[in-house]
Amino acid sequence: MTTPALGDAVSRLRALLGERVVSGDDISNSFFTDEEVFGLLNMANQNLNLAAMYGWSIKAAEFARLIDYDESGSNRKLSQRYRQAQSQLTFFQQQVTADSAAVASMDAVGPKVLNLRDDFRGPHLALHHGNIVWVAGD
């Protein structure tokens, strides 16, 4: 039995993966089983963006083998699935990178802005692009 918070995370991850399952739908029509969705969340330590990135990576790998074909007057552009999965993968890679950069900057400096100068015109320390640097003076 899943906890409400975990069930909510699974639903949100399914939405990010384009697999929203509404009441009455058959889950067997989904790309991922419930166990696989739980596995993605666990691999990502419950980070939805990271779990979505993993999921789109798996989808892109699966869709890479699909080809376009023409048959009996109809055509199927199955390679579009791969391109869309790649697009989503790139989006979530950017989200994960942005999340990591935000966490790294908070770890390096802290959540507060440091003002080490305090109207001092001589040599001083200053914050420049997240780094503390020595300034000779004005």
Q: What would the pLDDT profile of 82-108 be if each residue is shown by its tens digit? A: 999 999 999 999 999 888 777 655 555
Instruction: Return d(Cα 43, Cα 45) in angstroms, integer.
Output: 6
Q: What is the predicted pLDDT for the residue at 128? A: 56
pTM for the whole thing? 0.64
Instruction: Return d(Cα 32, Cα 47) in angstroms, integer.
Output: 18
Q: What is the predicted pLDDT for the residue at 105? A: 59
**CB under 8 Å to 93, separation ≥6 — which residues?**
53
What whole-number percentage of the chain has pLDDT above 90? 33
Residue 17 banded pLDDT, cuts 50, 70, 90? very high
